[in-house]
A and B are shown apart, each in its own frame.
Chain A
Amino acid sequence: MTDEKNPGITLFDFSKNGDSGPLSGPQGSSESLQKSALILGFSGPRLVTDRLQEFGMHSGLMIRYVGRAPFQGPLLYRMGATVVALREEEAQCILINPL
């Protein structure tokens, strides 16, 4: 599913300019303000992309950026009922289409 010709926008690009999502304050922003995207595919080291897929990520899945851990740490995404924490390099391996 690696799209060599059109690397597109990665999940990391998508999240890096956003605010820190609901984690920026105890009251949080409403869900409608959180950014969602559709996963298009994967690109990067096989070790990472395989693991991402086994983690339950797949093309067509909707994923929502919910915030970032302190010290510019892992990025947090919700997919379905789960939140996963990904490092920048890991989020860079996911190609998405912003919604």
Chain B
Amino acid sequence: MYSDQSALDLVALVGAPNVGKTTLYNWLTNSKFKTVNYPGATVEYAVGRSAERLEANCYFMDTPGTYSLFPKSSDEEVTLRALYDQHEQGQVKKIICVVDGSQLDRHLLLAEQIYLSGFPMVLVVTMADLLTKNNLKLNIEALEQKFNGPVVLFDGVLGGGLKELIQKMKELELTQPTKLPAWSHDQIQEKIEMIRELSSRVYGDADSKSVYKRTEQVDRWLLHQYFGLAFFFVIMSLLFSSIFWLAKPFMGMIDFSFTWLGNQAVALAPNSLLTDFLAHGLIASLGAVSVFAPQIFILFFGIGILESTGYLARAATLIDKPFSKLGLSGRSFVPILSGFACAVPAMMATRNISSKRDRMITNFIIPLMTCSARLPVYALLLSFAFKDAAAWKQGVALALLYLGSLFLGSLVAGILNKILAKSEMSLFMMELPIYRIPRWKILFHDSLSRTKTYLLRAGPVIFVFAVIIWAGTTFPNYSTENKSEKMESSYLGQVGRSIGPVFEPMGIDWRVGAGLLSAFAAREVFVSSMAIVFNVSGEDEESQAQGLLKSMKEAKLPNGQLLFTLASVSGLIVFFMIALQCMSTFSVAIKENGSWKFALIQLISFNVIGYILAVSVVQGFKSLGLG
């Protein structure tokens, strides 16, 4: 089966941003690939086995969008390196160069560079559906002659052209590619002239105006001086509010299932340690975090829609001027928006910011954005603070927290912009692609797999902490009837009291303090820790979530005062807004900035400032008599 010459060769897909490269990649691999992706684009290269039914028997590699083989941003360096490096699947043997059929004059320069490097190449012209719809007929022979190789038209919506592409790719003969020496200014001019002449021959009398007519009409609204901003706010509010109202029924269902599961476990053997661990340790903590999976899915899905329709490029354009006042650029918009999902892919997404200074400032403020791991924490704390208030108040408070993180980010960026020396010129230069209808199936599949990754990654950490915290609060006096006495004399209680003084100024006791410490493994662990520490009397009929809220509401400090008051909850929220409690973010910060110093400054300053502000808020509230 693998005997033919192209068997298991590594074939790279190369093309400018927004040409439909990733769509083609999805068709070629049947969406089965491993990748470190962020909603919006390819930041690492992804490698996947060819879909079985295509009988291509090779690996396909998707690379970040690039305009040329002479890189200008770290994103483009990734692509260049990927083409020449040795990979697990060997070296890149062939290239599929992807160009947008409605913009050949802009994309063929890259094809020329690949052709001159000597890679065996199939040229794929995308947007075939748009071309057909608008009766545009291209002179494909002219392209075949120029690049002395096959050219295939591809329709990303229906997958038309796929078979032909595989056939042509298999027929390519292997060569020894070389690295292209940099072009002089005159050479570039010469090449550009050649490409212009070539594309005018390919287009002939065809008029591409009809292709972009609808986009132009939509842009009149979406980029309008006033309406444009209004749409921007409406679209962003819709995205973030849907995280709550749309997710609510699904969250209810998940909460219900875990509550049922816990009750079943207890019913198996009501007084055994094992079922106690299962119900009040493992199931409670996994349930506390799984409840938020629908919200995370909706966030990824929403960002995916904005990206694939072409709106994100418009949003970046709208926001460029205000952002530039803070030392950022419109290009920082996508990474910052992704930061609301997770700081790890968001930091990787800063690679397409060409200015080092812009990139550093963006990376510095990303961990301040309300990432999905903070969501469970805020939701818990707010539902506690607003337990008897109308549901919309909680929603408004959450919206304010999201806005608050943007405000904090702007503040920090503004300060850094003042402190840091200005270096090279920062570039914006953004292409606004034609509006397209998203491919819902791919989007759905993608968001689902990201949500799964989130749960799988969080799972083991939550399990470990569930064991530690359950055992720590259960032993040594596990047979004691009095629950609070059992807790006080437990191992965790003993350790907790020794670190208690650190948390006292925040208005919290050692139990919450232990939760805060466990949150350094991952923020959402705070919620599962709280579920174990406080949900000790979970044998009632209520749902898990309600049970937890009830025990938290009744919890008292050693001096008899209530533990969770407006003051202490506000203090906790302030701490979670600022503190950098995520080890994955810390390690990505080191990698993406190539500097321990950057990551350490970020880690220490965010945590120290978070603690000081939290203490100030708590003490401030108390002095006002709101403790």
Contacts and interface: CB of A to CB of B under 8 A. Distances in A.
Contacts of A48: 425, 427
A23 B219 contact: yes
The winner among A2, A23, A24, A74 for most chain B CB atoms within 10 A is: A74
Contact of B425 (A73, A85, A89): A89
Given A23-B225, A54-B109, A70-B225, A85 B432 contact: yes
B227 interface: yes
B330 interface: yes
B431 A45 contact: no
A59 B70 CA distance: 21
A38 to B, nearest CB: 13
B208 A80 contact: yes
B106 A80 contact: yes
A79 B313 CA distance: 17
B219 A81 contact: no
A47 B67 contact: no
Contacts of A73: 317-318, 320-321, 330
Given A28-B220, A47-B72, A80 B105 contact: yes
A35 to B, nearest CB: 16
B434 A74 contact: no
Contacts of A25: 220, 224
Contacts of A32: none
Interface of A: 1-2, 20, 22-28, 45, 47-48, 50-56, 58-61, 66-74, 76, 78-87, 89-90
Contact of A76 (B72, B189, B432): B432
A55 B217 CA distance: 24
For the residues of B in contact with A, the DSSP-based class is helix
The winner among A58, A60, A71, A83 for most chain B CB atoms within 10 A is: A83
Given A22-B216, A56-B105, A82 B431 contact: yes
Nearest to A73: B321
B189 A1 contact: yes
Contact of A82 (B106, B109, B225): B106
B22 interface: no
A47 B317 contact: no
B353 to A, nearest CB: 13
A90 B320 contact: no
A70 B431 contact: no
A56 to B, nearest CB: 3
